[in-house]
Amino acid sequence: MVTTIALVDVLTDWYRDHARDLPWRAPDRTPWGVLVSEVMLQQTPVARAEPVWRQWMARWPGPGDLAASDVGDVLRAWGTLGYPRRALRLHGAAVQIVERHDGQVPDDEAALLDLPGVGVYTAAAVQAFAFGRRAVVLDTNVRRVVARAFVGQALPPPHLGAAEAATASQLLPHDDAPTTCVALMELGSLVCTARAPRCTQCPLSSTCAWLAAGSPPDAHAQRRRSQPWQGTNRQARGQIMAALREASGPVAVVDLVWPDRAQLDRCVVALAADGLLVHDVAHSSVRLP
């Protein structure tokens, strides 16, 4: 394993030359902008999230702006980013930031974790990228780089464990740890990709434990499950939400297009329970909140 000092030097040099120009990394970024980006990027690629982030920040540049907005408008602005409960939680986080933190994103872990929709990863990312703290930011890309370059595995285990987190923590320097975190993240996104890693372009290739071991296959392949989409509740829910975003008012449930009516009815009930739509049972119609 390379030393932490060598890792920092190699990664920061590479990152300086190859980093993408993303708005939430700009020098004038705000903690709110970082939080919004991290929530959007939880399950959405950068290319899809960036234009929505720009529109979102132009419309709601601070937590107070979002907190004062109508939930239906928030869900419409979320558009096709997927998993719209994230939009509801971000709105809830904005309300809590206004009510409990004077409209300022908190900088400590406990307060961040108390916000709706903020888990361990998002709290660490906000601490690192908004406030410059030494926090272990372990997204999918970072975990993959750590697994390959420092452990010798093709991919990390399906679930994050204490040993993996400890290994990643040991790699972070005490000075400018956020830059190391974002460099690892960028390396995993652009070079050390899951399916077709560009090892000849990797700044860590000469010391990569996975390459040194002969690039063994994924030891956890049998435990990984692909997530189906066609015909699933996720697809049905997405289609319902798309219809409501495009409508100017209530939509009759009978007008929602889905081949399995029983499944559609179940999804309507579930979306209403999540607070993502209002179900008028008496008139058999649905609308955004």
Catalytic residues: 38
Residue with tokens 């903020």: 118
Angstrom distance (rounded) from CA 200 to CA 217: 18
Residue 217: which residues within 8 A CB-CB, separation 6 or more?
154
Residue 126: name the closest of 106, 102, 141, 145 by CA: 106
The first and second tokens of residue 108, run together, are: 């400590």
Residue 171: which residues within 8 A CB-CB, separation 6 or more?
4, 7, 146, 150, 180, 184
